[in-house]
């Protein structure tokens, strides 16, 4: 009779432990479902579900690849801006050089003009006005 009681107690303990184990598994499954939903939400938020490489679809690998892509895009943008600034500076330098050369040629014409050609309006100014009218397409 005592063996039957012990067997019943052991059976009851086994049933109780199995019930607790299953309840714990159900709790963990529910927590996993919540965590999985959050994980999927992050994947969608960061675009990891659309990444082409299967190995990058897992969130940690995707976030690393996404960070590297952003860093590469940032480097390319900086390089583009530097090139654009260099082209703009080269244009400014060329314009400045052209203005300096034009000024030097005007100064050379002024220095080369004889003083006897000056009348009420200096000949140098008349020549400059004539050249400017010709450049603008205005006839005399």
For 59-110, the pLDDT digits (tens) are: 677 777 778 888 999 999 999 999 999 999 999 999 999 999 988 888 887 7
Q: Is 128 helix (H, G, I), strand (E, B) or coil?
A: helix
Scanning the chain, the segments in alpha helix (DSSP H) are: 2-46, 59-112, 123-136
The domain locations on the chain are 1-46
- Between helices 123-136 and 59-112, what is the axis angle to 10°? 140
State the pLDDT at residue 20: 92
Percent share of the chain, pLDDT over 70: 83
- In terms of pTM, does the model score above 0.95? no
Residue 116 has pLDDT above 80, yes or no: no
State the pLDDT at residue 80: 96
State the pLDDT at residue 97: 95
Residue 53 has pLDDT above 60, yes or no: no
């Amino acid at each position: 009779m005592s063996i039957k009681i012990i067997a019943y107690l052991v059976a009851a303990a086994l049933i109780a432990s199995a019930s607790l184990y299953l309840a714990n598994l159900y709790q963990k499954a529910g927590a996993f479902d919540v965590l999985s939903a959050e994980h999927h939400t992050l994947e969608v938020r960061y675009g990891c579900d659309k990444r082409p490489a299967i190995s990058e679809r897992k969130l940690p690998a995707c976030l690393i690849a996404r960070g590297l892509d952003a860093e590469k895009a940032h480097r390319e943008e900086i390089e583009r801006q530097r090139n654009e600034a260099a082209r703009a500076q080269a244009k400014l330098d060329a314009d400045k050089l052209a203005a300096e050369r034009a000024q030097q040629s005007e100064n050379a014409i002024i220095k080369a003009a004889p003083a006897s050609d000056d009348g009420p309006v200096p000949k140098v100014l008349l020549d400059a006005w004539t050249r400017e009218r010709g450049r603008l397409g205005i006839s005399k």
